[in-house]
């Protein structure tokens, strides 16, 4: 690992000033679980590390009057999993945070670090897309808010600029009576990272029609909402016997990853199995 300067700003505005001053030389560090590995492998060699561990505005979980959940980017997976508020308002996210990686990573790794690293083999991005979350970014020029679909750009790539920091994640309340599913596939029980995952939120809207947010992730370069499938399910009552066919056609068209863990066709098949297994509970 190469030598680096280390700075620990105490406020978001100090952090943004440091990002503007040092430009591409500076790199934000949260829990360091992803970054230290990348630095040891020399995939990253920052000249200056800006730790966000001592910025109170980026920590903790709260709820506003409209029921939106606000999670500071420097909130660990364990804190999210153990939050009584998250368990009550968004149990899907609590389940995801409590089931990813291992104890060490959950205790040290943060939600913001997970999202900004944009490793596809992760759990929160797809879940947050299905929950319709928004991300609040700040730079010395001000704030901007992006939906998950806008934030996730490509494989290991997000819309965040080098002078910006992810401050928080904002999640709207679940629609009344919403059902949710989060399912992940590991190649072996010893694996930590998902090879494929599926997030579904469904609910009845005011006119009695069914609405869906269906997202696949981990096996695709970035989480993807299956809009065509959502629309089909919203307008048609699909007989049980036809679900397998519909799911097969959907999963065969997915732009899945091919790597040392599994090839693209295998991942498409896994998505098909996950969808076939979990969609029916949302169709009743």
Ligand X SMILES: Cc1cc2nc3c(=O)[nH]c(=O)nc-3n(C[C@H](O)[C@H](O)[C@H](O)COP(=O)(O)OP(=O)(O)OC[C@H]3O[C@@H](n4cnc5c(N)ncnc54)[C@H](O)[C@@H]3O)c2cc1C
Give the binding site for ligand X (CB under 6 A): 27-35, 52, 73, 100-101, 105, 108-110, 112-114, 116-117, 122-124, 160, 165-166, 192-194
Q: Return the number of the residue (129 or 279) whose C-beta is nearest ligand X.
A: 129
Question: Smallest distance from the beta carbon of 259 to ligand X, in angstroms?
Answer: 16
Q: Return the number of the residue (177 or 189) whose C-beta is nearest ligand X.
A: 189
Q: Return the number of the residue (198 or 233) whose C-beta is nearest ligand X.
A: 198
Q: Return the number of the residue (136 or 273) whose C-beta is nearest ligand X.
A: 136
| Structure token digits, residue 222 | 């970035």
Question: Smallest distance from the beta carbon of 284 to ligand X, in angstroms?
Answer: 30
Q: Return the number of the residue (26 or 69) whose C-beta is nearest ligand X.
A: 26
| Structure token digits, residue 249 | 């056609």
Q: What are phi and psi of 144, to 5 degrees?
A: -145, 150
Question: Smallest distance from the beta carbon of 43 to ligand X, in angstroms?
Answer: 10
Question: Smallest distance from the beta carbon of 18 to ligand X, in angstroms?
Answer: 13
Positive/negative CA dihedral, 136, 125, 76, 38: negative
How far apart, in Å, are the Cα atoms of 101 and each of 96, 110, 215?
10, 12, 20
Tell me whether residue 112 is exposed, middle or buried, using C-beta atoms within 10 angstroms of its C-beta: 0 to 12, 13 to 18, 19 or more: buried
Which residue has the CB atom at the shortest distance from ligand X?
A: 113
Strand partners, 50: 7, 28
Question: Smallest distance from the beta carbon of 101 to ligand X, in angstroms?
Answer: 3
- State the chain's maximal CA–CA distance in angstroms: 62
How far apart, in Å, are the Cα atoms of 253 and each of 186, 199, 248, 267?
22, 18, 9, 11
Question: Smallest distance from the beta carbon of 78 to ligand X, in angstroms?
Answer: 11
Coil, strand or helix at 56: helix
Q: Return the number of the residue (89 or 114) whose C-beta is nearest ligand X.
A: 114
Q: Given the DSSP bridges, would you call strands 165-171 and 152-154 parallel, antiparallel or unpaired?
A: unpaired
């Amino acid at each position: 690992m190469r030598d680096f300067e280390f700075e620990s700003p105490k406020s978001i505005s100090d952090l943004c000033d440091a990002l503007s001053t040092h430009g591409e030389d500076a790199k934000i560090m949260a829990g360091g679980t992803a970054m230290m590995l990348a630095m040891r492998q020399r995939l990253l060699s920052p000249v200056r590390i800006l730790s966000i561990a001592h910025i109170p505005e980026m920590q903790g979980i709260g709820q506003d009057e409209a029921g939106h959940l606000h999670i500071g980017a420097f909130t660990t997976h364990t804190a999210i999993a153990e939050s009584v508020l998250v368990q009550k308002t968004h149990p899907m996210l609590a389940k995801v945070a409590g089931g990813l990686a291992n104890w060490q990573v959950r205790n040290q790794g943060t939600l913001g670090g997970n999202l900004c690293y944009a490793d596809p083999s992760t759990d929160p991005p797809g879940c947050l897309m299905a929950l319709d979350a928004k991300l609040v970014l700040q730079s010395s020029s001000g704030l901007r808010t992006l939906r998950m679909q806008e934030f996730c750009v490509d494989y290991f790539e997000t819309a965040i600029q080098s002078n910006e920091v992810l401050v928080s994640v904002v999640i709207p309340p679940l629609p009344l009576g919403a059902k949710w599913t989060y399912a992940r596939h590991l190649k072996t029980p010893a694996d930590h990272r998902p090879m494929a995952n599926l997030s579904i939120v469904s609910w009845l809207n005011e006119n009695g029609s069914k609405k869906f947010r269906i997202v696949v992730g981990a096996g695709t370069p970035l989480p993807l909402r299956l809009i065509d499938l959502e629309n089909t399910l919203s307008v048609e009552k699909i007989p049980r016997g036809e679900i397998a066919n519909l799911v097969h056609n959907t999963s065969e068209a997915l732009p899945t990853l091919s790597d040392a863990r599994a090839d693209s066709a295998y991942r498409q098949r896994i998505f098909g199995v996950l969808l076939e297994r979990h969609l029916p509970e949302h169709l009743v």
